[in-house]
Amino acid sequence: MRHFLLYAVLRLGLWALIWWLLTLMHVGVMLAGVLAALIAMLLSILFLDRFRSAAALRWKAADERRAERRGPVHDEDADYEDSVLDAAEDPDSEDPDSEDSDSDPEIDPETDDAADDHAFAPADGSTDAGAGDAEGQDPSGPAALPELGRLDEGGHDSRGELRG
């Protein structure tokens, strides 16, 4: 703490000295303060390197001691992300949190379409999935989205809701 205070007092004293000299030269109080801060910063970088290094080393040592007292930091989010990345690199390993590792369809870069036409087919293998059949489908999938713009003669949409 002593090194940090010494460095801070030296910089503040340097700023005050430069500010006083600039105000004696009738630069103006506000402009003198700004110029003094810039000049003091440059001079402290050039000439107070030894004091700054000593203060930084003491600050780093104190920070390391505090980190040792707190103990290791365990980040559960980072651990989960690492396990997902490891599972993606090693296709033989199974991640207990994932339901199906092959659920993402392959994308053809030329057509930007799914390589498999049945990528969104139900998991049980059936190909006849009605729009009203919500059993066995992913509730966040495309079948759960309402059909926009399709109203019958009475102004109702395909689910029976009245649309104006």
User: Residue 27: which residues within 8 A CB-CB, separation 6 or more?
Assistant: 35
Residues 25, 31: Cα–Cα separation, whole Å: 12
Q: Return the SS3 of 161.
A: coil
Contacts of 124 (CB under 8 A, 6+ apart): 136
At 92-116, the pLDDT tens digits run: 655 455 555 455 555 555 555 544 4
Q: What is the pLDDT of residues 55-86, one digit of tens each?
A: 889 889 988 888 888 877 777 888 888 888 88
Residues of the chain with pLDDT > 90: what percent? Answer: 23
Q: Which two tokens stand for residue 52?
A: 């700054």
* CA torsion through residues 29, 35, 38, 42, sign: negative
β-partners of residue 4 are: none
